[in-house]
Amino acid sequence: MLKNAGYDVYTARTDSFGTVENNALQLKEQIETLLQKRCAEKVNIIAYSKGGLDARYLIEKLDMEKHVASLTTISAPHKGTKLATIFYSYPKCLIKPFTFCLNVLYKILGDKNPNSLEVLRNLQEIPEEEFSNEVVCKSVYSQSYSLRMDKYGDDILLGIPFALLKKIDGGRCDGAVTHESSQWGEYKGHCTDTPMSHRQIIDFMVGKNKKQKIYEFYLSLCQDLADRGF
């Protein structure tokens, strides 16, 4: 859809259960190859969920700020997630067999270096006093969007984690990440004016009405970046 609208779009391929550090290295290699192929200097990164953490690490730790014009994160757990904190707190003798099986499965599905136990650690909540919303690389325009679910029925698939997060945390969330955790750089609010869950924003098993909202959001996002000169 974005290509049909005239935008030059590429999709990064990183491990589903790769660590932030490992995925950032994969992303760096792909961006450098792309820029060389296109004879371009910079890319705009639109990063969803944990991809936002991967992209931040890429920019802040791997000397890639000179090749990134902007970073837009969508429901990225910048302050971590309560669910990951809960799971990681379980005795390691219980979660290691589960994460081992998950690693084997995703290795079969195409991950190069899955490490789901370390990913859980990456996604743990960061205490408020330890978190800084300051953008390290000022040369990269950084903005963020959040999502919201209002009730269980907004997304049956994420209804249970939504209800769990509401009960234990009391905060607003999209079934996986809270509004507060989604905020980084210039916070632009929700992606849409209607309830949209963590999975729905990537157009996964979405009805016609929400699909139109999703497309409108991504088109307006790319147009705004273009208008800003990125």
CA 154 remoteness from chain centre: 20
N-term to C-term CA, the chain: 20
Neighbours of 220 (CB within 10 A): 11
DSSP strand E in the chain: where? 43-48, 68-74, 141-146, 186-190
pLDDT tens per residue across span 128-168: 878 877 788 889 999 999 999 998 889 988 988 898 888 87
For residue 80, what are its two tokens?
A: 């971590």
What pLDDT is recorded for position 226? 95
Separation between Cα atoms, residue 12 and residue 225, nearest integer Å: 19
Q: State whether the Cα torsion 163-167-168-173 is positive or negative.
A: positive
**What H or E segment, with its residue span, contains residue 161?**
helix 159-168
Quick one: what percent of the chain has pLDDT higher than 90?
Answer: 77
- DSSP class of residue 127 equals P
Separation between Cα atoms, residue 203 and residue 211, nearest integer Å: 6
Neighbours of 173 (CB within 10 A): 29
Alpha helices, H only, 19-115 = 20-38, 51-61, 82-88, 92-108
Which of the pair, 23 or 137, is modelled with greater confidence? 23
What pLDDT is recorded for position 134? 75
Q: What is the pTM of this model?
A: 0.92
User: May I ask the CATH architecture of the domain 20-227?
Assistant: 3-Layer(aba) Sandwich (3.40)
Find the angle CA(191)-CA(197)-CA(203) to the nearest 5 degrees.
80
How many CA atoms are closer than 13 Å to the CA of 229, on its beta-carbon side? 2
Distances (CA, A) of 148 to 10, 82, 145: 27, 16, 10
| 127 pLDDT more than 90 | no
What pLDDT is recorded for position 99? 94
| 230 pLDDT more than 80 | yes
Separation between Cα atoms, residue 65 and residue 187, nearest integer Å: 20
Least-confidence region, from 60-69, 148-157, 211-220: 148-157
Do residues 29 and 54 make contact, with C-beta atoms less than 8 angstroms apart? Answer: no
Residues recorded for the chain: 230
What pLDDT is recorded for position 133? 75
Residue 151 has φ and ψ, to the nearest 5°, of -155, 165
Separation between Cα atoms, residue 33 and residue 53, nearest integer Å: 21
Do residues 22 and 115 make contact, with C-beta atoms less than 8 angstroms apart? Answer: yes
Domain spans of the chain?
20-227
What pLDDT is recorded for position 113? 94
